[in-house]
Chain A
Amino acid sequence: GAGVSQSPSNKVTEKGKDVELRCDPISGHTALYWYRQSLGQGLEFLIYFQGNSAPDKSGLPSDRFSAERTGGSVSTLTIQRTQQEDSAVYLCASNLGGRAEAFFGQGTRLTVV
């Protein structure tokens, strides 16, 4: 597609369950970012992938959070044993790597009940 695509758009899960959030970046973009946005807050950096380099995982809040990027394209953010404080909008963005302009998807709204 023309833009960054995220799925699902909404996810409600029970506390303790695992969830997977998917991001399809813009075709040809080598860099991919995940951010978390709590209600009324700014964007919290989670993880950054650039080509074949080791990802920058410095923003992951705990070892319950992990992300993969397969084939340099689609990325999956996994949250294990979800907690209520994980409720937020999870945003994915991509760019050409050498350029800073990052383009965002519409996000996945995660609600842990």
Chain B
Amino acid sequence: GQQLNQSPQSMFIQEGEDVSMNCTSSSIFNTWLWYKQEPGEGPVLLIALYKAGELTSNGRLTAQFGITRKDSFLNISASIPSDVGIYFCAGQPLEYGNKLVFGAGTILRVKS
């Protein structure tokens, strides 16, 4: 159904490495969003994607809306310690209008 499968669950990488995470679903999505959450804070929006195939960058972050409209990925290049946090994908399933559903999150830890 509308469930989002996000992977990996966690990553522990060396500072300077690139990071890739993704979300997939069996449902078609109208939109994909990527958020970052730090301890004690609400999620903060990083990137929004509205069209199939769309590739959008925000600094060292790049995200794409999959052609099938059932998946999205987020890449972080040259990771730095402040990239630490939980990254969530979110989307609006086609059949649920404006309802926004979230993946389970990817925990990112960076070794400096």
Residues of chain A touching chain B, judged by Cβ–Cβ distance below 8 Å, are 4, 31, 33, 35, 41-43, 45, 48, 50, 56, 91, 93, 95, 97, 100-107
Contact A100 B98 (CB under 8 A): yes
CB-nearest residue of chain A to B41: A106
Residue of B nearest to A103 (CB): B45
List residues 1-60 of chain B with CB under 8 A from any CB of chain A: 6, 30-31, 33, 35, 40-45, 48, 50
Report which B residues bind A (CB closer than 8 A): 6, 30-31, 33, 35, 40-45, 48, 50, 88, 90-92, 98-105
Instruction: Verify B101–A48 contact, CB threshold 8 A.
Output: no
Contacts of A43 in B (CB 8 A): 43, 88, 90, 102
A-side contacts of B102, CB under 8 Å: 35, 42-43, 45
Q: Which residue of A lies closest to B101 (CB)?
A: A45
**Partner among B6, B44, B88, B98 whose Cβ is within 8 Å of the Cβ of A50:** B98
Given A35-B102, A43-B102, A106-B42, CB of A100 within 8 Å of CB of B48: yes
Look across to chain B and name the residue whose beta carbon is closest to the beta carbon of A48. B99
Q: How far is the CA of A48 from the CA of B98 in the complex (A)?
A: 9
Beta-carbon contact of B43 and A104 below 8 Å:
yes
CB-CB nearest in chain A for B4 = A42
Residues A100 and B33 in contact, CB atoms below 8 Å apart: yes
Instruction: List the B residue with the shortest CB-CB distance to A102.
Output: B100
5 residue pairs bridging A and B, Cβ less than 8 Å apart: A45-B102, A95-B98, A100-B91, A104-B35, A107-B42
A26 nearest CB across to chain B (Å): 12
Alpha-carbon separation in the docked complex, A104 to B86 (Å): 15
Measured in the bound complex, the distance between the Cα atoms of B96 and A50 in whole Å is 13
Q: 9 closest pairs, A vs B, by CB?
A: A104-B42, A100-B31, A42-B104, A43-B102, A101-B48, A106-B42, A42-B105, A104-B43, A100-B92
- Minimal Cβ-Cβ distance residue in A for B35: A104
Q: Which of B31, B50, B99 contacts A45 (CB 8 A)?
A: B99
A42, B99: Cβ atoms closer than 8 Å: no
**Which residues of A sit under 8 angstroms from B45, Cβ to Cβ?**
101-103
Q: How many angstroms from the CA of A103 to the CA of B45 in the assembled complex?
A: 7
